[in-house]
């Protein structure tokens, strides 16, 4: 089967890169610019920073910052109508994955009639006619380089992804300076989320030598920078390292897909509003404990990328080493390690398993067929903090 490999038209990377925006937007000759962001990013002063820079262009700006928490399909529809009413013809998204997913989806839907059809997944969106520029402020979801967007489906109590090349921006401006104000907890959860993208896409059945180059580099850089970036947010070198991790892992995720960790995280986000990165970080050790035996060779490589040791002579031990590393990471970064800690009711685990077992699009990428029963077992282990390969 043939595989595609897609990235945004241009990725501009560097400290201070956001200051190039005026030259960049000239290429599109916009008559009205939409800035899409969220409340937290606006409160950190980042939206004002962009507005000040864009003022030099003289192009009118409409700013939307009413995103609070992780976005829903309903919100995307509202934002799309708003940008259409305002006649915006260039969309700039600035923020974490929440703001970027809304910005790029609204840009793709601006010229489309049947918004609900695309959002329900009945039809693929595209092609996009409104130019779109994305600037991430977390490291991160990699949304600025992916053709995916994830939204809460309030009716079904689930999160659901939509995928279309129309969701790749024309330009991603990755400026580590914009992540300096990112709070420690978000730096930790979104940083481990990026690692989840790298490891899940690395073992994905859709992975190719090309996607693995990106995932491998992300995993090699991750342990050098994650702790520093979380505990010393103003350290620009580690913020830059994590910005690369996020972008590299995002490219791999966009082309190879993620798997069971994400599938199990979706109902936690949809039903209990657990942040995406927190849910992924917490579930990752428990999911890998269950599926790891089917990707032993890859885990020997992952252990080597993370500098955990050479397990080539003892491949079965690589799984223990990786799971142990992931659990320690939660501790070092002050992230929760059990569902109990998060206040998830124990009697909700069967319903969570039923929901997760329906996320076929992602479960199909994992090299192990997880039954609903096996998924329930993973949630139970994650609830009590039970890890079988090692004693925690």
Ligand X SMILES: NC(=O)c1ccc[n+]([C@@H]2O[C@H](COP(=O)([O-])OP(=O)(O)OC[C@H]3O[C@@H](n4cnc5c(N)ncnc54)[C@H](O)[C@@H]3O)[C@@H](O)[C@H]2O)c1
Specify the stretch interacting with ligand X by CB under 6 A; choose among 83-91, 114-122, 140-148, 221-229: 140-148
Task: Annotate 265-295 with b (16+ C-beta within 10 A) or e (fewer).
Answer: bbbbbbbbebbbbbbbbbbbbbbbbbbbeeb
Please state, in angstroms and rounded to a whole number, the distance separating the CA atoms of residues 211 and 25: 30
Residue 270 CB, nearest distance to ligand X (Å)? 10
Q: How many residues bind to ligand X according to rule CB under 6 A? A: 32
By the rule CB under 6 A, 186 interacts with ligand X? yes
Residue 25 CB, nearest distance to ligand X (Å)? 21
Per-position x/- string for 266-305, each x denoting binding to ligand X as judged by CB under 6 A, each - no binding: ----------xx----------------------------
By the rule CB under 6 A, 143 interacts with ligand X? yes
Residue 116 tokens read as 């609900």
Specify the stretch interacting with ligand X by CB under 6 A; choose among 26-34, 181-189, 307-315, 319-327: 181-189
Per-position x/- string for 205-244, each x denoting binding to ligand X as judged by CB under 6 A, each - no binding: ----------------------------------------
Per-position x/- string for 64-83, each x denoting binding to ligand X as judged by CB under 6 A, each - no binding: ------x-------------
Specify the stretch interacting with ligand X by CB under 6 A; choose among 50-58, 111-119, 124-132, 180-188: 180-188
Report the interface residues with ligand X, using CB under 6 A: 38, 40-41, 44, 70, 95-99, 101, 137-138, 140-143, 146, 148-150, 159, 178-179, 181-183, 186, 190, 193, 276-277
């Amino acid at each position: 089967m043939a595989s595609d490999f897609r990235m945004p038209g241009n990725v501009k990377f560097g400290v201070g890169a956001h200051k190039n925006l005026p030259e960049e937007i000239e290429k599109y000759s916009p008559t009205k610019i939409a800035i899409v962001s969220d409340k937290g990013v606006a409160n950190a002063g980042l939206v004002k920073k962009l507005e000040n820079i864009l003022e030099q262009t003289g192009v009118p700006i409409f700013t939307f910052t009413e995103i609070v928490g992780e976005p829903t399909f309903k919100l995307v529809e509202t934002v799309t109508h708003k940008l259409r009413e305002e006649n915006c013809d260039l969309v700039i998204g600035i923020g974490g994955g929440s703001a970027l997913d809304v910005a790029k989806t609204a840009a793709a839907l601006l010229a489309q009639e049947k918004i609900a059809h695309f959002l329900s997944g009945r039809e693929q969106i595209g092609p996009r006619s409104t130019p779109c520029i994305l600037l991430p402020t977390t490291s991160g979801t990699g949304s600025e380089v992916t053709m995916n967007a994830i939204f809460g489906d309030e009716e079904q109590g689930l999160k659901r992804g939509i995928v279309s090349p129309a969701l790749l921006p024309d330009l991603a401006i990755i400026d580590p300076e914009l992540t300096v104000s990112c709070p420690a907890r978000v730096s930790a959860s979104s940083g481990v989320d990026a690692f989840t993208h790298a490891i899940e896409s690395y073992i994905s059945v859709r992975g190719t030598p090309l996607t693995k180059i990106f995932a491998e580099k992300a995993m090699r850089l991750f342990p050098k920078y994650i702790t520093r970036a979380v505990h010393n947010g103003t350290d620009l070198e580690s913020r830059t390292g994590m910005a690369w991790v996020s972008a590299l892992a995002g490219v791999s995720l966009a082309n190879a897909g993620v798997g069971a960790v994400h599938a199990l995280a979706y109902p936690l986000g949809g039903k209990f509003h657990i942040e995406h990165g927190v849910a992924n970080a917490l579930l990752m050790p428990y999911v890998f404990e269950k599926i790891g035996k089917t990707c032993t060779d890859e885990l020997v490589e992952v252990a080597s990328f993370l500098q955990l040791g050479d397990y080539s002579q003892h491949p079965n031990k690589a799984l223990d080493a990786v799971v142990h590393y992931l659990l320690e990471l939660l501790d070092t970064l002050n992230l929760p390690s059990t569902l109990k800690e998060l206040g998830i009711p124990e009697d909700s685990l069967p319903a969570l398993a039923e929901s997760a077992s329906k996320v076929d699009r992602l479960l199909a990428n994992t090299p192990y067929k997880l039954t609903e029963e096996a998924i329930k077992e993973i949630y139970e282990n994650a609830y009590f903090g039970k890890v079988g390969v090692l004693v925690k």
